[in-house]
């Protein structure tokens, strides 16, 4: 089979450090579905790890990229600028509520956006310190690894990392990590590690992704904003995964009513083409000297064309409302599965809009994370044609990164696959006698 041949070529040619979740090789994809080189069809709820809010190969995005590549594919904006970069910046400035006039810097990756937000914050405040949160994921460069709050697999063996990074807990009400505790931890940082007058920025995911799909409580975000205002600290919203409509608002922080100083975006901004952005208050964005920001591929014209098309699709297809509908249908189906007595492994269902996380536990009372079971569920689902990904410090949260353009029929089909997969994973953990009984049922 071709997939076996490709697998041997991958092992011989590709670094072992590049992750590989499923034994499939993609041949083609459309919207929420993809087909591998053997002709097998899958429902894709990983979506390029959150980069495909408008689905695979949306025809409007494809047309925009094709039209652009026929004109020119690339120039360095710093020497030969072009209109689409400016048009995208204008569009993002209007859409990003930062409490005043905004300006935009276009880049290539989410990690680049995070690093440049740190550079801009330090240039503006003339301070060094950066505060981040436990469980956060901000990228794979040395600086963003230092900011990321998960060792395995992102940080192990890669240190030492850059300094002046300080970490506090992120609220997790299901696990008993309260808003009060996290706000107090910020005060403690100022007492024990760094004075607030030396902190340049607090960088937070308004809905933490890799940390377990946990929305930041409104009162927590309000408290963080108040603290930043009190001490002149730049508040940075990392919306790389949770932005671009996935939560039912263009940006997840909009659910809290808090205005950040800088907003970071990437992933779904251009339907999988590599582009990222830092959008922020004009006075902050202009604090860096000419030539201090940029990059060879930053704001590539093909990606700009795709991003402008994505923003049009979000408006034209009313995808912010659709995200709410998708989330409600997913939650209703997951709650139905949860209520069944033999599905008590579902400890918590949470999220905003269509960005839903399901935390699996060994039992409801102890809430012990069921990482091994989660891996089995994901494998069983893939065998049945549904691609899923995990999250959380213990890899026990199934995250849903669905395209907002998928049909209700595909949602229902996916929920049925998930239910059967959970049952199969539970049965595989039983002893032989119980497993035989379960099979007989």
Are 390 and 373 in contact by the 8 Å Cβ rule? The answer is no
Do 306 and 413 lie in one domain? The reply is no
pTM over 0.85? The answer is: yes
Does 333 lie in the same domain as 186? no
CATH at 134: 3.40.640.10
Cβ neighbours for 200, distance < 8 A, ≥ 6 positions apart: 118, 121, 122, 124, 125, 127, 128, 129, 130, 233, 234
Q: How many CB atoms are closer than 10 A to CB 441?
A: 8
Q: Are 263 and 116 found together in one domain? A: yes
Task: Supply φ then ψ for residue 56, to 5 degrees.
Answer: -70, 135
Q: What is the DSSP string of 115-130?
A: HHHHHHHHHHH---EE
Alpha helix (H) ranges present in 248-393? 282-285, 301-316, 319-339, 371-383
CA distance 154 to 141: 10
- Considering the domain architecture, whether residues 50 and 104 belong to the same structural domain is answered as no
Based on the fold, state whether residues 375 and 404 are members of the same structural domain: yes
Mark whether 307 and 341 lie in a shared domain. no
Strand bridging mode 102-107 / 276-281: antiparallel
- How are beta strands 41-44 and 386-387 bridged, if at all? parallel
* pLDDT at site 365: 85
Q: What is the CATH number of the domain that holds 322?
A: 3.90.1150.10
- How many Cβ atoms are within 10 Å of 387's Cβ, its own excluded? 19
User: pLDDT tens track of the chain, all 441 residues?
Assistant: 898 999 999 999 999 888 888 889 999 999 999 999 999 999 999 999 999 999 999 999 999 999 999 999 999 999 999 999 999 999 999 999 999 999 999 999 999 999 999 999 999 999 999 999 999 999 999 999 999 998 888 888 888 999 999 999 999 999 999 999 999 999 999 999 999 999 999 999 999 999 999 999 999 999 999 999 999 999 999 999 999 999 999 999 999 999 999 999 999 999 999 999 999 999 999 999 999 999 999 999 999 999 999 999 999 999 999 999 999 999 999 999 998 866 689 999 999 999 999 999 998 889 999 999 999 999 999 999 999 999 999 999 999 999 999 999 999 999 999 999 999 999 887 655 544 444 444
Q: Give the residue among 342, 129, 149, 355 at the shortest CA–CA distance from 232.
A: 129
**Rounded to 5 degrees, what angle do the CA atoms 308, 94, 107 make?**
55
Residue 340, pLDDT score: 82
Tell which of 260, 282, 316 closes a domain.
Answer: 316
Query: What's the number of domains the chain is made of?
Result: 2
Task: Kindly compute the dihedral angle of the four CA atoms of residues 353, 239, 348, 147, in this order, to the nearest 10 degrees.
Answer: 180
Per-residue pLDDT at 3: 87
**In this structure, are 352 and 247 located in the same domain?**
no
287, 331: one domain: no
- Which structural domain range is residue 333 located in? 2-54+318-440
Domain boundary among 316, 346, 377: 316
Residues linked to residue 227 through DSSP beta bridges, in sequence order: none
Q: Do β-strands 276-281 and 262-265 pair in parallel, antiparallel, or remain unpaired?
A: antiparallel
> 153 and 141 share a domain?
yes
Tell me which of 316, 341, 365 is where a domain ends: 316
Same domain, 137 and 254: yes
Are 311 and 253 in a shared domain?
A: yes
pLDDT confidence of residue 1: 83
319: nearest Cα among 137, 61, 105, 41 = 61
Length of the chain: 441
* 201 φ/ψ angles, rounded to the nearest 5 degrees: -155, 150
Element (H, E) at 63: helix 59-69
Residues 186, 238 within the same domain: yes
């Amino acid at each position: 089979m071709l997939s076996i041949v490709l697998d041997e070529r991958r092992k011989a040619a590709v670094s072992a450090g590049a992750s590989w979740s499923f034994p499939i090789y993609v041949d083609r994809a459309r919207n929420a579905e993809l087909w591998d080189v053997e002709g097998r069809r899958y429902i894709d709820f990983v979506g390029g790890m959150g980069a495909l809010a408008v689905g695979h190969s949306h025809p409007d995005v494809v047309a925009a990229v094709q039209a652009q590549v026929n004109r020119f594919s690339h120039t360095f904006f710093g020497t030969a600028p072009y209109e689409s970069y400016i048009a995208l910046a204008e569009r993002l400035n209007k859409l990003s509520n930062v409490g005043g006039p905004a300006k935009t810097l276009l880049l290539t990756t989410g990690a680049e956006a995070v690093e440049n937000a740190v550079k801009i914050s330090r240039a503006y405040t003339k301070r060094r310190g950066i505060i981040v949160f436990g469980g956060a994921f901000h990228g794979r460069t040395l600086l963003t690894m230092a900011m990321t709050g998960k060792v395995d697999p992102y940080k192990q063996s890669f240190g030492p990392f850059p300094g002046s990074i300080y970490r506090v807990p992120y609220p997790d009400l299901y696990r008993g990590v309260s808003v009060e505790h996290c706000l107090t931890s910020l005060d403690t940082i100022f007492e024990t590690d760094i004075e607030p007058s030396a902190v340049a920025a607090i960088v937070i995911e308004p809905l933490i992704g890799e940390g377990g799909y946990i929305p930041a409580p409104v009162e927590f975000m309000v408290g963080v904003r108040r603290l930043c205002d009190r001490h002149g600290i730049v508040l940075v919203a990392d919306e790389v995964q949770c932005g671009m409509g996935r939560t039912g608002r263009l940006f997840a922080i909009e659910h809290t009513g808090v205005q950040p100083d800088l907003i970071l975006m990437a992933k779904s901004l251009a339907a999988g083409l590599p582009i990222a952005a830092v959008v922020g208050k004009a006075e902050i964005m202009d604090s860096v000297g000419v030539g201090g920001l940029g990059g060879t591929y930053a704001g590539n014209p093909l990606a700009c064309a795709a991003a402008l098309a994505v923003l049009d699709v979000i408006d034209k297809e009313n995808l912010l409302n659709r995200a709410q509908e998708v989330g409600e249908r997913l939650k209703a189906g997951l709650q139905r599965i949860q209520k069944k007595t033999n599905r008590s492994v579902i400890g918590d269902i949470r999220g905003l809009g269509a960005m839903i996380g399901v935390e699996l536990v060994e039992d409801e009372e102890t809430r012990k994370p069921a990482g091994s079971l989660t891996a089995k569920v994901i494998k069983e689902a893939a065998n049945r044609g549904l691609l899923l990904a995990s999250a959380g410090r213990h890899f026990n949260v199934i995250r849903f990164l669905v395209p907002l353009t998928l049909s209700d029929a595909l949602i229902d089909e996916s929920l049925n696959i998930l239910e059967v997969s959970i049952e199969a994973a539970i049965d595989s953990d039983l002893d032989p006698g119980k497993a035989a009984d379960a099979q007989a049922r």
